[in-house]
């Protein structure tokens, strides 16, 4: 909110700043730019704070949260299930491909990487 009371739609590092360990900063900022542009072009009516909050929330659900959850997981000592997944990626091309593709779209990690339960289920399915 500017000093005069004008709301400002934020994107990129200004509103989502993660550790660079997963290389997601520019990726996420570019997705946010695309998301906001699409929302601006589709919108009819006031560009007010309620609309801006909705645009950010939908961006967060689609992209921001996944990049943040994955980055935060990789910042700590790797849990056992992450060690198992990295070991599997070193031996199986299909796991390596999925891991590499997650850098472009981290929303996939929620289905197999973030929790021990999902990792076990994924490894069992191979």
Ligand X SMILES: Cc1cc2nc3c(=O)[nH]c(=O)nc-3n(C[C@H](O)[C@H](O)[C@H](O)COP(=O)(O)OP(=O)(O)OC[C@H]3O[C@@H](n4cnc5c(N)ncnc54)[C@H](O)[C@@H]3O)c2cc1C
Q: How many CB atoms lie within 10 A of CB 59?
A: 21
The count of residues interacting with ligand X (CB under 6 A) is 9
* Contact of 94 with 41, CB cutoff 8 Å: no
Total residue length of the chain: 126
Stretch that binds ligand X, among 16-24, 54-62, 69-77, 80-88 (CB under 6 A): 16-24
* Residue among 63, 60, 97, 95 nearest 81 (CA): 95
* Contact of 70 with 109, CB cutoff 8 Å: yes
Distances in Å between the alpha carbon of 61 and those of 66, 79, 89?
Answer: 8, 25, 27
Nearer to ligand X, 26 or 116 (CB): 26
The minimum distance between CB 13 and ligand X, in angstroms, equals: 4
The minimum distance between CB 53 and ligand X, in angstroms, equals: 19
The minimum distance between CB 62 and ligand X, in angstroms, equals: 17
Binding string, 17-56, against ligand X, x = CB under 6 A? ---x--xxxxx-x---------------------------
DSSP state of 100: H
The minimum distance between CB 32 and ligand X, in angstroms, equals: 8
Nearer to ligand X, 27 or 115 (CB): 27
Residues that bind ligand X (CB under 6 A): 12-13, 20, 23-27, 29
């Amino acid at each position: 909110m500017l000093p005069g009371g004008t709301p400002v739609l934020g994107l990129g590092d200004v509103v989502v700043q993660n550790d660079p360990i997963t290389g997601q900063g520019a990726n996420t900022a570019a997705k946010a730019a695309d998301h906001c542009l699409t929302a601006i072009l589709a919108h009819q009516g006031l560009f007010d704070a309620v609309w801006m909050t909705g645009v950010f929330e939908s961006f967060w659900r689609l992209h921001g949260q996944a990049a943040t959850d994955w980055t935060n997981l990789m910042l700590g000592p790797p849990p056992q299930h992450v060690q198992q997944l990295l070991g599997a990626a070193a031996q199986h091309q299909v796991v390596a491909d999925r891991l590499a593709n997650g850098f472009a779209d981290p929303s996939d990690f929620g289905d197999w990487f973030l929790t021990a339960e999902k990792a076990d289920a994924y490894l069992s399915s191979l």
